[in-house]
Structure 1
């Protein structure tokens, strides 16, 4: 298929090269100058992406997207699928730019979704655009040099949800992109709540704030942060997540650990905690290097704040999530509640 990938950072480059490897035509689009500009300028100059794939015997190869551009209209023109792989903080503004350019029948696949499809749908009224949200990308990766991405880990399974239930018929099309997205969540709330970053990124970085600042780049969160007491905190946050999934009719009310095993492990009879420990030892990325990290500035407003607001809307309480939001806001002197979606922004779709 013809796929437009919006976002040319770690994830956008990795998923693009895998899409090309799978036989799809890719238009790689960058819409901002906030991150990875040197990498994108190198891609524009060479017209190709290089890859070191640690999931395939450390194989190195180079592939060419059909197009590399900053021109949204040009990049979206012939796309059958539009993959949005930007930070979810950008979804509001991006939706205003993309919505009018979308065409009847296009599939817009947003990872992480974080209920961003509600924003895109507002700007494509009158057209049947299929909106689908994912919890996490099939490939974890990082840019290791201009024009070169290292693929660190591959999910065994991925789940998605569609903004409109009637569009679930398009699941085989989504599956054909990478082969892992074969499974449906109940709704976009369930997908948002099962974004793994909401649980481990927020707790791991907030509770390790002094260690992160002291380490000056020599911190491995997945290996260091989750002591028994911190893991107890994760379990309490996990319970708040599960109550929200249940309150909004979700059918997959499972723990973070079980969801992690389901994504990452072929053998579902393996102990869930062992799967997490193995990921931490072999695939967990280094960092964060400081507190200016998307683990806080994206995952707190777009995920924890959504958890808090969805709970409040149903008359429920989230003392752990609320405390983490307040502490993160104080640590960074930023009102993260003011940045996340309000219930008014999403209530037409919940």
Structure 2
């Protein structure tokens, strides 16, 4: 399959490598100058992505995408599937940029989705576009040098939701991309609230703010942040999340640790907390190095704030989510509630 990958950062480079290994033809497209420009310039120079794959015995190799470009129209031309691997904060503006070039019958797969498919659908009315949302990428990765990505971890299972229920028949096509996206969520609300970053990134960073600033880059959130008291906080945020999922018709409202095990572990008989600890020790990346991190500036407005707003629409109280949003906003002197979608932006697609 010919796949256009939008986003040439950590995730875009890693998923492109794996798509090519799976036999797909990749056009890698960068649409902004906000992050990773030095990486992209190196990709343009060499025409290839270099990789250190720790999930494959630390193998080092390079692969050449079919195209590496900033030309959106050229990069999308002929693509059967389009993967949106930018930060979800960019979805609203990105939809305006690429919407005019999307064609009838294309599959548009957003990871993380965070209800961003609603923004793309608003710019492609009159076209049958198959919109799919994922919760987390199948491969965790970090750029370790310009043009080179290190793949750290592979998910065992991934779930997706389709914006339009009738498009669920395209699940086998989505599965063919990586092999892990075999499972359906009920709807995009369920997918958004099962994004693991909504829980682990926000609580792990907000509650460790002083440690992050004191450590000056020597901080491992997955290893350091989650004490017994913090797990109490996770459980209470989980309870709020599950209430909202059920209120919108979701059938798979599970807690963070069980969802983590389901994604990451072949053997589902293993204790969920032990699976998390194993991931923290072997696959969880270092950082964040500062509070200027997407763990706050993306995951608070696009996930926690959406949880709060979706809950309010159904008359559900979210004291833990609301407190975390307020604290994060105070820590960064930023009103994150103003940065998230309003219910009016998404309501037509979630009723």
User: TM > 0.5 between the two?
Assistant: yes
Note if 1:25 corresponds to 2:25. Answer: yes
Q: List runs of 5+ in structure 1 lacking aligned partners.
A: none
By how many angstroms is 1:211 displaced?
0.2
Offset from partner CA, 1:242-297 (integer Å, 9 cap, x none): 00111011010111000000000000111111000100111111000000000000
By how many angstroms is 1:98 displaced?
1.1
Aligned counterparts of 1:336 and 1:117: Cα–Cα separation in 2: 21
Tell me which residue corresponds to 2:169. Answer: 169
Tell me which residue corresponds to 1:71. Answer: 71
Offset from partner CA, 1:9-56 (integer Å, 9 cap, x none): 000000001100110000000011011000000000100001110001
After TM superposition, list the pairs within 5 Å mapping 1:19-98 onto structure 2: 19-98=19-98
Aligned-partner SS, 2:109: strand
Tell me which residue corresponds to 2:271. Answer: 271
Offset from partner CA, 1:191-221 (integer Å, 9 cap, x none): 0010000001000000000000000000000
Aligned counterparts of 2:338 and 2:55: Cα–Cα separation in 1: 40
Aligned counterparts of 1:246 and 1:37: Cα–Cα separation in 2: 42
Note if 1:127 corresponds to 2:122. Answer: no
Tell me which residue corresponds to 2:150. Answer: 150
Tell me which residue corresponds to 1:283. Answer: 283
User: What TM-score do you get using the length of structure 2 for normalisation?
Assistant: 0.99
By how many angstroms is 1:65 displaced?
0.2
Tell me which residue corresponds to 1:326. Answer: 326
Aligned-partner SS, 1:43: helix
Note if 1:224 corresponds to 2:259. Answer: no
Aligned counterparts of 1:331 and 1:90: Cα–Cα separation in 2: 23
Offset from partner CA, 1:302-338 (integer Å, 9 cap, x none): 0000000000000111000000000000000000000
User: What TM-score do you get using the length of structure 1 for normalisation?
Assistant: 1.00
Aligned counterparts of 2:230 and 2:264: Cα–Cα separation in 1: 22
Offset from partner CA, 1:128-166 (integer Å, 9 cap, x none): 000000000000000001111000000000000000000
Tell me which residue corresponds to 1:3. Answer: 3
Tell me which residue corresponds to 1:109. Answer: 109
Runs of 4+ with deviation above 4 angstroms: none
Tell me which residue corresponds to 2:234. Answer: 234
State the Cα RMSD in Å. 0.4
Tell me which residue corresponds to 1:343. Answer: 343
Count matched residues: 350
Aligned counterparts of 1:317 and 1:340: Cα–Cα separation in 2: 18
By how many angstroms is 1:100 displaced?
1.1
Aligned-partner SS, 1:219: coil
